[in-house]
């Protein structure tokens, strides 16, 4: 069987694997963002108990293997705690969110801590509540600084999604591996080259989306790129003519 026939016959399985990969990646990214803010805000809290619990959770999920966490949720928790998940996709999303959310919490904590002290003092002068400080002043400024590292983290979630094949999910990587088992060594190179291209395209789209968000965020804070100079017939900028 030639490689083109093999790819044509395997297209439905590859598309289904792509669907699983996209679903796990999008769900993992959303959960990563939520957990990053939850743990990041808790890690910077004034209350010692809240801060301590957050640090323990962060270090636990950062310090243990993603593969071990996947196996723990699939095999260990049903035996020890009688907790069983009906969907392995849900397990994949949950573990990716917890693992990468622990890394993302440091992004949130660092960006919030980088907001100038004068901004916090202004909030106190205006008698803002803690929620008002975060929603109206702190997070809008800190969010712009979070976007680039969150873009990198999103790509890590995409690449980490390939590990869900270890718990029985047929994602894009697992589908390609199944297809490779029916191919020759030379055809396997083509199959995995296609796989590389697909992952690259998804990563590029994710990175482009985050760059767009960054531009929008900076524009909202008045930090957008300078306007292109406009010249009149005499060679002066429009702003100079207006002046």
SS3 21: helix
The residue extents of the domains of the chain are: 3-222
Output the pLDDT for position 130: 84
Q: What is the 3-state secondary structure (H, E, C) of 216-230?
A: HHHHHCCCCCCCCCC
163 is written with which tokens? 């590990």
* Token pair 């619990």: residue: 53
Output the pLDDT for position 161: 95
How many whole angstroms separate alpha carbon 154 and alpha carbon 156? 5
Least confident of 112-116, 141-145, 200-204, 238-242: 238-242
Least confident of 1-5, 20-24, 64-68, 202-206: 1-5
80 is written with which tokens? 């020890």
How many whole angstroms separate alpha carbon 181 and alpha carbon 188? 8
How many whole angstroms separate alpha carbon 79 and alpha carbon 61? 21
pLDDT digits (tens, 9 = 90+) for 11-31: 888 999 999 999 999 999 999
Pick the CATH number of 3-222 from 1.10.240.10, 3.90.25.10, 1.10.3720.10, 1.10.569.10: 1.10.3720.10
pLDDT digits (tens, 9 = 90+) for 143-196: 999 999 999 999 999 999 999 999 999 999 999 998 888 777 778 888 889 899
- Among residues 142, 136, 125, 182, the alpha carbon closest in space to that of 36 is found at 142
**Contact assessment for residue 74 and residue 88, using Cβ atoms and an 8 Å cutoff:** yes
pLDDT digits (tens, 9 = 90+) for 48-84: 999 999 999 999 999 999 999 999 999 888 888 887 8
Judged against a pLDDT cut of 50, whether residue 241 lies above it is answered with: no
Mean pLDDT of the 24-51 span: 95
How many whole angstroms separate alpha carbon 137 and alpha carbon 123? 8
Judged against a pLDDT cut of 70, whether residue 243 lies above it is answered with: no
Q: What is the dihedral of CA 145, 102, 169, 206, to 10 degrees?
A: 0
Output the pLDDT for position 24: 96
Binned at pLDDT 50, 70 and 90, residue 197 comes out as very high
- Would you say the pTM of this structure is higher than 0.75? yes
The residue that leads in pLDDT, 47 or 130, is: 47
């Amino acid at each position: 069987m030639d490689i083109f026939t093999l790819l044509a016959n395997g297209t439905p399985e590859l598309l289904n694997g792509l669907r699983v990969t996209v679903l796990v990646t999008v769900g993992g990214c959303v959960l990563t963002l939520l957990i990053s803010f939850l743990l990041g805000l808790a890690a910077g809290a004034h209350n010692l108990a809240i801060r301590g619990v957050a640090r323990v959770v962060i270090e636990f999920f950062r310090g243990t293997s993603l593969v071990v966490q996947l196996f723990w949720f699939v095999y260990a928790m049903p035996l020890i705690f009688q907790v069983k998940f009906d969907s392995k996709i849900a397990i994949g999303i949950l573990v990716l969110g917890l693992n990468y959310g622990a890394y993302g919490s440091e992004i949130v904590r660092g960006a919030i801590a980088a907001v100038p002290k004068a901004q916090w003092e202004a909030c106190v002068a205006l008698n803002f509540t803690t929620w008002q400080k975060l929603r109206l002043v702190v997070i809008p400024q800190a969010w712009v600084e979070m976007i680039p590292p969150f873009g990198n983290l999103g790509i890590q979630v995409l690449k980490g999604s390939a590990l869900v094949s270890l718990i029985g999910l047929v994602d894009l990587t697992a589908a390609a591996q199944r297809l490779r088992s029916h191919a020759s060594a030379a055809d396997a190179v083509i199959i995995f080259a296609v796989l590389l291209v697909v992952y690259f395209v998804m990563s590029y789209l994710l990175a482009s989306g985050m760059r767009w968000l960054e531009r929008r965020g900076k524009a909202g804070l008045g930090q957008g790129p300078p306007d292109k100079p406009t010249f009149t017939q005499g060679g002066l900028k429009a702003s100079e003519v207006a002046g």
